Amino acid sequence: MTRAHRIILPALILILIFLLPLPSFADQYQVSRVIDGDTIEVKKGATKLTIRLAGIDAPETSKKKYEPGQPFSQQSTKYLAKLALNRPADVKSYGADRYGRVLGEVFVEGNNLNLEMVKAGLAEVYRGTPASGQNLDPYWKAEEEAKAAKLGMWVLGDKYVSPREWRRMDGQ
């Protein structure tokens, strides 16, 4: 094996790890932490992964202590914790985001948590570039239904600000 092969081969393996979906097996991971309404940590043995729930965007939590963040951010985080914290979960990966987090759909007892957050009106469909291969049709339908029923953040009506716009206003 040449020196170039010894350098290129490990790099290719790392790239493939991030591009190929994680296998999904029943009870593969345990949800160990809910960071906010669209980000969790899962563990399996010594392996810990940060999962960014693909296809959704939840209200932004404050990065400053003692500030509430965007309206409904705390409710969103608490609801996700109620659905997932300390429970076994399957993860369907769509690769990694620019921060190195796994983009994934998370399933607890067969329920798609990403979709459940949208149905509850505690996350919207992600307005940026979608994860490659993810079908967002059920998410758009769930968002329209949650809006029509004025669930969660949709009760704000015209005062509602998308998390994407909130980040722009907040300089994030």
58 part of a folded domain: yes
138 part of a folded domain: yes
- What string of H, E and C letters represents the secondary structure of 107-123? EECCEEHHHHHHHCCCC
68 part of a folded domain: yes
What pLDDT is stored for residue 67 in this prediction?
Answer: 81
Q: Which of 41, 101, 145, 167 is catalytic?
A: 101
What pLDDT is stored for residue 66 in this prediction?
Answer: 80
Q: Which of 60, 105, 116, 124 is catalytic?
A: 60
42 part of a folded domain: yes
Contact 117, 38 (CB under 8 A): yes
Q: Which CATH number do you get for residue 90?
A: 2.40.50.90
What pLDDT is stored for residue 25 in this prediction?
Answer: 44
151 part of a folded domain: yes
Q: Is residue 164 annotated as part of the catalytic site, yes or no?
A: no
* Closest to 55 in 3D by CA, of 122, 112, 105, 2: 105
134 part of a folded domain: yes
Q: Is residue 101 annotated as part of the catalytic site, yes or no?
A: yes
Torsion of CA 63, 69, 74, 75, to 10 degrees: -150
What pLDDT is stored for residue 114 in this prediction?
Answer: 98
13 part of a folded domain: no
What pLDDT is stored for residue 158 in this prediction?
Answer: 94
1 part of a folded domain: no
Domain count for the chain: 1
Contact 83, 76 (CB under 8 A): no
Contact 98, 45 (CB under 8 A): no
Beta bridge partners of 32: none
Q: Is residue 143 annotated as part of the catalytic site, yes or no?
A: no
Per-residue pLDDT of the chain (172 residues; tens, 9 = 90+): 666 556 664 554 445 445 555 444 445 899 999 999 999 999 999 999 999 999 999 999 988 878 889 999 999 999 999 999 999 999 999 999 999 999 999 999 999 999 999 999 999 999 999 999 999 999 999 999 999 999 999 999 999 999 999 988 865 5
Terminus-to-terminus CA distance in the chain, angstroms? Answer: 46
Q: Domain containing 137: what range?
A: 21-170
β pairing state of 39-44 and 111-112:
unpaired
